[in-house]
């Protein structure tokens, strides 16, 4: 007995059914990968950083779950780290640095006080403040920066992977 299903023909016998014709290959549209913008939006909604200046620590959260805590160096007297709610504006690997007082440009490398990662969250269009590594890890935990939040190099690399542009940054005293 022959039964027709679309363009396929199936032959039924007493033993078992078998295909006499091949089934057409289904036409599938290729699904587009999640766009980087959507990935960043999801990450920025779900993650946040809370900086406690009095504790000299930054707390990284995914939703309500604490992911990590890192020690930081904060702004020195006269160059205090601004408080408030901000968002990550940019991220850079191997950033160059311009001294805020002398204007001297320091290229990437071992003498660069920013280390090899930058996560910017504040700017007055003249100065920028963010999280970064350091070439003087022994100063982490102290008030020694020009407003930035210095971190040990291994810690800033880990934090860099936890945040995206748009991630909320809450800085409190």
- Whether 120 contacts 135, CB under 8 Å: no
Q: Of all helices (H) and strands (E), which one includes residue 46?
A: helix 36-46
Tens digits of per-residue pLDDT, 90-129? Answer: 999 999 988 888 989 999 998 899 999 999 999 998 889 9
Distance CA 150, CA 162 (A): 17
pTM above 0.85, yes or no: no
Q: Give the burial class of 70: count Cβ atoms within 10 A of its Cβ; 0-12 exposed, 13-18 middle, 19 or more buried.
A: buried
Reply yes or no on whether the pLDDT at 147 is more than 70. Answer: yes
- For CA atoms 171, 139, 154, 110, the dihedral sign is positive
- Whether 91 contacts 116, CB under 8 Å: no
Q: Which string of b and e fits 23-51 if b means at least 16 CB within 10 Å?
A: eeeeeeeeeeeeeeeeebeebbeebbbbb
pLDDT at 5: 41
Lowest mean per-residue pLDDT among 1-5, 12-16, 150-154: 1-5
173 versus 13: which is more confidently predicted? 173
Which residues form the catalytic set? 132, 148
Reply yes or no on whether the pLDDT at 34 is more than 50. Answer: yes
pLDDT at 127: 83
- Specify the pairing of strand 97-98 against strand 105-106: antiparallel
Question: Please, what are the domains in the chain?
Answer: 36-172 (2.40.440.10)
Average pLDDT over the chain, rounded to an integer? 84
Distance CA 128, CA 97 (A): 11
pLDDT at 116: 94
CA distances from 147 to 56, 96, 168 (A): 13, 17, 18
């Amino acid at each position: 007995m022959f039964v027709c299903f679309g363009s396929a023909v199936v032959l039924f016998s007493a033993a078992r059914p078998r295909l006499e014709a091949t089934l057409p290959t289904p036409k599938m549209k290729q699904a587009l990968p999640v766009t980087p913008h959507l990935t960043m939006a999801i990450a920025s909604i779900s993650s946040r950083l809370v900086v406690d200046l009095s504790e000299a620590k930054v707390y990284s959260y995914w939703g309500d779950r604490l992911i990590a805590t890192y020690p930081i160096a904060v702004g020195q007297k006269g160059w205090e780290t601004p408080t408030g709610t901000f968002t990550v504006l940019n991220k850079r690997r191997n950033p160059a640095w311009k001294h805020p007082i002398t204007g001297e440009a320091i290229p990437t490398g071992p003498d660069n006080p920013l280390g090899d990662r930058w996560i910017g969250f504040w700017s007055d269009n003249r100065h920028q403040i963010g999280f970064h590594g350091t070439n003087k890890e022994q100063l982490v935990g102290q008030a020694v920066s020009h407003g930035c939040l210095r971190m040990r190099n291994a810690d800033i690399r880990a934090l860099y992977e936890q945040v995206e542009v748009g991630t909320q940054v809450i800085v409190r005293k």
